Amino acid sequence: MKYIRIIEENCSGCEECLSSCPFGAITIEDGIARIGDACNLCGACVDHCAFGAIEMEQSEEAIVSPPAQGGVWIFAEQRSGQLSGVVYELLGEGRKLADELDTPLCAVLLGHEVGKLTGDLIAHGADIVYLADHPELKDFRDEPYTAIIAQGVEEFEPEIFLFGATSTGRSLAPRLAGRLRTGLTADCTELSIAGEARLLEQTRPAWGGNIMATILCRRHRPQMASVRPKVMKRAIADTKRQGRIVELSLNAHQLTSRTRLLDYIPELIHSINIEEADIIVSGGRGLGDSKNFSLLEELASMLNGAVGASRAAVDSGWIPYRHQVGQTGKTVAPKLYIAVGISGAIQHLAGMQSADVIVAINKNADAPIFQVATYGIVGDLFEVIPALTAALKKEVS
Ligand SMILES: Cc1cc2nc3c(=O)[nH]c(=O)nc-3n(C[C@H](O)[C@H](O)[C@H](O)COP(=O)(O)OP(=O)(O)OC[C@H]3O[C@@H](n4cnc5c(N)ncnc54)[C@H](O)[C@@H]3O)c2cc1C
């Protein structure tokens, strides 16, 4: 538990702390600062007070000593016997955390006839693969997956458990966290270990992407976090690595489910998926109309790339959501990202900043997108894009 208190003898009543509190929880009464119920113990005022008059305390018993060798776990999501791309990124990040904690990295793999994937998981950094293989586990369903993994967690006591923020991960991780009575931080962009307490620092955008918040799970285990695809670096394979396979125990009760998968119909996407594309030509409100996306489609197809969009363009109904890049869209890391008529709001940048080369085309020279752009073209997109496409056509003809 955390406590905050005013050390009255140090307080000068200067009122400087009032502006430091984002929740308006501090008042001055009789020349002394008072902290009200709106306080959420963020600690901003503690650092702000020049007189050392605000103190935050933490009772020692609040911090749980995690089991020493429970390991760092990652969920090895697979579909139709193929590991999801984010699994390799979780293995890369998990390896880093496990090495720092001097504990094994473990992958949890559920499915049917998926034993062939264990070698790949070990080659990419797993020391142990916890495997549950059964016809009933062929396709992901919340109830059996949760029941089996929860039992594995209770038996082997991992310190940390990471998931990809895919549609499967977003369904499984919260249910599992609820079952295990622990916390879960979604969509982390950075993970690190804090000190001897072996706490996982889980950093993610907050307040509409305007600040980065670091979240700790002090009192419950495992510390659970999800990470969006393409945010962390992929692990590099080493086929000489050795690992162990441990079969998770299954019983008939765990395999029952109130849901049944009738069919799996992949989305019919005619264009290239933006998460996989090396080149993305992305359009924003500057395009002015849905029909103008055809300009970007033409350029993208010349470059063998995909078409992306800002949320403003998606919200206007000009292009489907699956093309949206950003905090509430997809995170992409292409070799080339061409931002056309996009201002560069922080929530858009959150999804594309790690592109190798960013080209911004905007008629406003002060648009924030130019601050992250490798190359900037100040001009009217309706002149620049046709000129670019024509130049490319000339090049290939
Ligand atoms: C919680 C939250 C989550 C969000 N998530 C996302 C997200 O995932 N992705 C996202 O994109 N946004 C997101 N947003 C919205 C974000 O804040 C911006 O509103 C949005 O990105 C703006 O889109 P835009 O750049 O296309 O539009 P605008 O900001 O309106 O910019 C349009 C740009 O086009 C330029 N322009 C206009 N005409 C031309 C022309 N003829 N030629 C060249 N340039 C031209 C203008 O100069 C301007 O810079 C989120 C917001 C919130 C609060």
Sorted by where each starts, the structural domains of the chain and their CATH numbers stand as 2-59 (3.30.70.20), 72-255 (3.40.50.620), 279-396 (3.40.50.1220)
d(CA 217, CA 221): 8
How far apart are the CA of 203 and the centre of ligand 1, in A?
A: 25
- Which residue's C-alpha comes closest to atom 30 of ligand 1? 285
Mean pLDDT, residues 44-63 = 80
Q: Sorting pLDDT into bands at 50, 70 and 90, what band is 68? A: very low
Closest CA to 305 of 339, 268, 329: 339
- Which residue's C-alpha comes closest to atom 7 of ligand 1? 326
Other Cβ atoms within 10 Å of 149 Cβ, number? 25
pLDDT in tens, 285-301: 999 999 999 999 999 99
284 CA closest ligand 1 atom index: 26
Mean pLDDT, residues 183-212 = 88
367 CA closest ligand 1 atom index: 49
- Does any ligand 1 atom lie closer than 6 A to the CB of residue 343? yes
- Does any ligand 1 atom lie closer than 6 A to the CB of residue 257? no
Phi, psi of 2, deg, nearest 5: -105, 145
Other Cβ atoms within 10 Å of 297 Cβ, number? 15
| Mean pLDDT across the chain | 92
Mean pLDDT, residues 335-361 = 95
Q: Sorting pLDDT into bands at 50, 70 and 90, what band is 64? A: low
pLDDT in tens, 110-155: 999 999 999 999 999 999 999 999 999 999 999 999 999 999 999 9
How far apart are the CA of 378 and the centre of ligand 1, in A?
A: 16
- Does any ligand 1 atom lie closer than 6 A to the CB of residue 376? no
How far apart are the CA of 312 and the centre of ligand 1, in A?
A: 5
How far apart are the CA of 325 and the centre of ligand 1, in A?
A: 11
Mean pLDDT, residues 28-45 = 88
Q: Sorting pLDDT into bands at 50, 70 and 90, what band is 267? A: low
- Does any ligand 1 atom lie closer than 6 A to the CB of residue 345? yes
Give the model's pLDDT for residue 379: 97
Q: Sorting pLDDT into bands at 50, 70 and 90, what band is 57? A: confident
343 CA closest ligand 1 atom index: 49
Give the model's pLDDT for residue 231: 87
Reply yes or no on whether the pLDDT at 14 is more than 70: yes
Q: Sorting pLDDT into bands at 50, 70 and 90, what band is 51? A: very high
How far apart are the CA of 307 and the centre of ligand 1, in A?
A: 16
**pLDDT: which is higher, 269 or 18:** 18
How far apart are the CA of 286 and the centre of ligand 1, in A?
A: 8
| Whether residue 222 has a cis bond before it, omega within 30° of 0 | yes
Q: Sorting pLDDT into bands at 50, 70 and 90, what band is 59? A: low
Reply yes or no on whether the pLDDT at 375 is more than 90: yes
**pLDDT: which is higher, 209 or 369:** 369
Closest CA to 286 of 296, 301, 275: 296
Give the model's pLDDT for residue 268: 56
How far apart are the CA of 316 and the centre of ligand 1, in A?
A: 11
Give the model's pLDDT for residue 196: 81
